Amino acid sequence: MFRLRETRSLAAAGHHQRAARELESLAKLAETKASTAFRFARAWSLCARAAEEHESMADGAPGKLRDKYGQSGAKILRSLAAQGYFRDAKALKELQQDPDFAALRKRADVAALTDELTAAGTPAGLATDEK
């Protein structure tokens, strides 16, 4: 898990390409546990944010890398939703509010996913800690 945490630090520091290479090399870990996959989605989101910032400075048009990283994160989130991971209201709230996921929330596919999960004003019948 140290290497996964390191990718978040790399991306946050703007080293998104290094972080992405590391995430790709660790991809099998994302298949082991849902909570680990959620951490991977977070790291991809941070890579997308860093790429957007870097690409904007470089040529004024963020795009290819941001989209590539965003697609990787969105794919994981869709898989987690299909597995029922977001039945945990805390996980859904984290996806909706944590700044680390901001780059993914900007994506139309992720926005549609979160809208679907929160349909009808509550997390679509998802379990909560409230009694």
Is 84 within a domain? yes
Render pLDDT for 101-120 as a digit per residue (tens, 0 to 9): 999 999 999 999 999 998 83
Is 53 within a domain? yes
| List of the chain residues with pLDDT < 50 | 120-131
Is 126 within a domain? no
pLDDT at position 121 is 45
- Whether 105 and 74 have beta carbons less than 8 Å apart is answered as no
Number of domains in the chain: 1
- Whether 7 and 23 have beta carbons less than 8 Å apart is answered as yes
Is 79 within a domain? yes
Rg (alpha carbons) of the chain, rounded to whole number? 15
pLDDT at position 105 is 97
Is 59 within a domain? yes
Q: Does the model's pTM come out above 0.75?
A: yes
